[in-house]
Each structure stands twice: as structure tokens, then as C-alpha cells.
Chain A
């Protein structure tokens, strides 16, 4: 992939920061809310279990503090205004890591059905092709030996990885 220009980086970062500045606090509210709900469920339904109230109370308290803190964070962000938020957030490019992450998630999803060696070879090939822009021969020369060699190495270290369609190593 071509290296982005500084202007592209700045524009991308500002856009992302202004669009998503409330994303993390909202996610924290959701997670904290889950803590409160589950904690309350345990307190109300498992009160007779020894330690039940404390077990529920702990996550309800943590969740409650998280929700309150995230709300304060949103209020602070609103008071600062969108321009201040985008100026203080680091300018970042989201596209290359997002593509790498999608490749990684696909790889994880394919390990069980295809097996470690095949899935690794495919993941390596896709990554090298997209990010390194290597030709098919170079890609094959790196991906296949790495997948086979590492598969053999893990097997030699007594690791049992999913074999999938290829019963090796």
C-alpha cells in the first residue's frame, strides 16, 4: 500500500476523531451497564447463595462507576467541542490496520475448517500481496515455506494445532 501524505493523514485523523469521539465512552457505558444489570440480577436472584450479594454487588458497583465516569467523559468532550477533540486526539490512519484486522479475523475463522498450515499460507499470501505488493512467485516463496515450516516446528514442540482438511503435520 502507498504511504499516505501528511495531508491525507491529518484529514483522515480529524475526520475519524470528529465522527467517533463519543465511541469509547458509549462503549464503556454499554459495558458498565452490563455490569450493573448482571450484578443486580445476581443480587436479586442469588441472595440466598453464600457470597452471592457480594459477588453481584462488586460488578454492579464497578459497572455503576464505569457508567458514571463515561458520562462525565462525554460531558467533558461536549464542553471541549468537536474541534478541540479532534485537535487533541492523535491523528491516525485507520484503513491499513483495519484491513490487517479483517485479514486476521478471517484467518482465525479459517484455522479450524482449513487447518493451521493451509490457513496460515493463505493469510500470509493475502497479507504479503496487499501490504507488500509482492509478485505471486515471491508470495508463494515466502508463504508456503513459512506455513509448512512453522507447522512442523509447532508439531515438534508438541503443540496440537487444528489440522482441518490437510492431515499434516
Chain B
């Protein structure tokens, strides 16, 4: 009933317009080379802040899945993945394009994304409230354990050295401590500098790390040849469609479960699902040479993980990746606190948002296939023209969050940091998650120790999270050995 109300609510002209504009802008930015979904959301975030709360959150969500879709279009047609998860799509998608089957590859990507998006939205609607009810039983000890588990998981799944990821996590938590301490009111790590008293705002930090950092990193890479072939007929053959749908269904199922884990970003879901499809195929040699199952599994996994990532955010208030951290920032901007009470205190907003996922996926399906030609032309804009435009938009976005030049400097300096970290193989996601979760862990930990450290001994859920953390470390080390874990 709640979901039906949400769907009806989102079918108003105003919310449809937000969803449409979000999908359009997200796809537009997502097709640009070197701009992934996290960067697209980070860059466009400040420009959505003048919208009403529900409108802003619907637009942000639409930008997110629009950007993911945009990345796959250019991956298939010109072998320029807009983001990491689209790299998997490019493997077989671009091979299909070279064989004159660009149309079926695009259609399969759209259908698989749509299928995963719709199933994902149903799962969010069904599981989200249950997770929220479970979280009502959580006290400081459980949140302390959950925070530690989240950081452990994201460090373990960062696709790089676990040790480096732990160092980055500690660095992120230290950065989050800059400014006034909420509990004591004492300034920390400011060293007498007045601008540091307010601390670092998440938005300029994210725009710098992902927007500016990605542009700078792109300057180190040689652009691939842009080959534009005829798209031809769109629909795959019945046998291809059947194989693709089966692969998409399997990838959706696996990724929806994996997406609940902190650190399990869409790119990891894509890599894992693709590997599983190749492993179980009777003709694994077809993968990498234009197998439609490769495109379907990567795209379905991508979208399913993205949808599943929303469950811990909405139900527990825990972001599972950088984009979810920005979604959390969007909520908190309006004083809305994601977590156990969100489904009761802000029920209208939550169900309208979930309803918008259904509508957004339909809009993307309708919007993208006819506009493929436009997206391809956009992706072939010379990078020397595109890069300064992106940088200027990043700087304006950083400025507009608090109308402060301090944030612009923060953005530029975090851009430098993002570039160096990428160039030197340091993972970015643990930094962002530690930056967001650090204050929560500190608060919960201080509450626990103020009551009594012995409290931890009597809270089994805390220990369950600690054990889960070790399980994730073990599982990630197994995956790393098999080479299936990547940034």
C-alpha cells in the first residue's frame, strides 16, 4: 500500500520532471569519458540543493542511475567506459559493436539494467522497512560494531592492498575530526586556523576527490580510438535475448545480496557476476569476444548492486560507498536522518523515492535508446575542451555549497589528493567512507565507554559484526588471490 502511494505520488508532473531531468543530466554527464557515477553525483549535487527535499533526493537518485547507464552506452559504442563498472560492459559490448551488433548490445544493456532496476526497487521496498525495524533494536554498542564492520568491509573490498586501505581509513577518520568536536565543543586539528574550525564539508571533498581527481588522472591516460559504427537494428535475436535475460537474472540475484555489504560497489558486483557467467558457461572462450551474456550480466549486476546499496542507507543510515555518502549528505542537508525512524517519520519521502526508482528506470529505457546518437557525439567532444569545463563546474559546485572560497581551495587540494592516490594505487572509497562514518563510530564508541566498556560483552550483535568483518577480510583475500577483486 505504501509503495502504491509512493508510485502515485511520483506520477505527479513535478516529480516526473525531477526524475526526467535527473536521468537526462546523469546520462549526459555519465557518457563523458572519465566521469563515473560518483563523480557525476558529486559534480551535480550542489546544483540540486535549491530543489525541495523530495525533489532533490529524487533528482540525485535519477542522476545516479542515469550516469551508470550513460557509462555503459559509450563503453559499448566507443570503448570509452564512463566509469569502472562499465569496463566490464566494454569487454564484450565493444566486441559486439565491432561485429556490427551495436544495436542488440545496447538493447540488451538497457533491458538488463531495467530488469535489475525494477527487481532492485521491489527488493528495496520489501526489505528496507524490515532492516529499519531491526535497526530500532540497535544501541551505541551495535552502531559501534556496525561502523567498525562497515569500515573493515570497505577496506577489504577496496581492490587494493588491505594494509594501504587501513591506512587510508585512519587518514579519513582523522580528516573527519578536523573542526569543533560535537561533544566537548573543543577545536581539534585546527592549529589556530579559523577556516578549519568549521571542518571539511563532504561535498567539496567528494567533488575534489572524484571530479577534479578523475580529470587530472585522465590526463595521464591515452584516449582510445573512437570508432563509431552503425547501430543497426536494436532487438537481439530470440536466442540471444533468452541467454541475456538468463544471465541478467542470475547477476541480479547475486548482486542484490552482495550489494547489502558495505564496500560492495557496483563495479565489484559487475566483475563478480561477469566472472561467474564466464565460469559457468559451456563456451567460456566466447567471453571477451562479444558474448551477449557478458553485457547482460555486467549491466544487471551494476544496477542491482546500486539499488541494493540503498537498503543499508535508508534502513541503517550507513552508506556503502562514495555515492551513497553523497545521498546521505542530501538527506542530512534537510535535517532528514536516514535510519530506523526514516520509514515512519518520513514515510512519504521514502516511498516517493522508492516509487521514483520504478519511474526512473522506465524513463531511462524510453530516453536512452532513441538518444544513443546524441550520447555518442557528446562522448567524442575533445577532452582538452571538456576537461576545463568539468573543472570549472567542479569549482562552482564546491563554492556554492557554503558560498565559501575555503571550500573551493579544499576541493582543489582534494583533487590533488585524489589524483595522487589514484596514480599511486591508494584506494579512494575507504577515505570517503571513513570520513562519513568516522564521527558516527567516535560518537557510538564514546557513548559505550561512558556507560561501561563491559557493555560490549553483553551485546551479541556487536560481536556478530566483528565476526562478519573477519569473514569479509577472509573472503576478499580469497577473491584477491583469484584476481576477481578490482577497483
Contact = CB atoms under 8 A, between A and B. Distances in A.
A58 interface: yes
A104 B212 contact: yes
Given A55-B183, A90-B424, A128-B388, A157 B47 contact: yes
Contacts of A38: 188-189, 191
Contacts of B450: 54
Given A54-B449, A73-B164, A124-B389, 6 more contacts: A51-B181, A54-B183, A100-B219, A108-B408, A128-B385, A159-B400
Contacts of B171: 28, 31, 66
Interface residues of A, number: 65
Interface string A73-99: 100100000000000111011101100
Interface string B215-232: 111011010000000000
B391 A104 contact: yes
Interface in B378-425: 382-385, 387-389, 391-393, 395-396, 399-400, 403, 405, 408-409, 412, 415-416, 419-420, 423-425
Contacts of B47: 157
Interface string B137-180: 00000000000000000000000000110110011011001000
B395 A107 contact: yes
A62 B387 contact: no
Interface in A46-73: 46, 49-52, 54-56, 58-59, 62-63, 65-66, 69-70, 72-73
Interface residues of B, number: 58
B369 to A, nearest CB: 29
| 6 smallest beta-carbon distances between A and B, as pairs | A132-B384, A51-B184, A127-B388, A97-B216, A51-B183, A96-B219
A58 B222 CA distance: 44
14 contacts: A24-B420, A28-B171, A42-B188, A62-B174, A66-B174, A73-B163, A89-B424, A90-B423, A97-B419, A101-B419, A127-B384, A150-B393, A154-B400, A159-B400
A54 B177 CA distance: 12
B163 A69 contact: yes
Contact of B405 (A50, A66, A112, A123): A112
A120 B183 CA distance: 42
B289 interface: no
Contact of A100 (B174, B215, B382): B215
- The A interface, classified by DSSP as helix, strand, loop or mixed, is helix
B114 interface: no
Contacts of A59: 174, 177, 188-189
A87 to B, nearest CB: 12
A164 B278 CA distance: 59
Contacts of A100: 215-216, 219, 387, 391
Given A69-B166, A97-B219, A150-B392, A46 B184 contact: yes
Given A63-B174, A73-B163, A146 B189 contact: no
- The B interface, classified by DSSP as helix, strand, loop or mixed, is helix
B183 A72 contact: no
A158 interface: yes
B94 interface: no
A160 interface: yes
A111 interface: yes
A104 B173 CA distance: 27
Interface string A35-49: 100110010001001
A161 interface: yes
B220 A69 contact: no
Interface in A95-125: 96-97, 100-101, 104-105, 107-108, 111-112, 116, 120, 123-124
A72 B384 contact: no
A101 B186 CA distance: 34
A34 interface: yes
Contacts of B191: 34, 38
Contacts of A97: 216-217, 219-220, 419, 423
B186 A46 contact: yes
Contacts of B184: 46, 49-52, 54-55
A52 B408 CA distance: 31
B2 interface: no
B426 A72 contact: no
B395 A108 contact: yes
Contacts of A54: 183-184, 446, 449-450
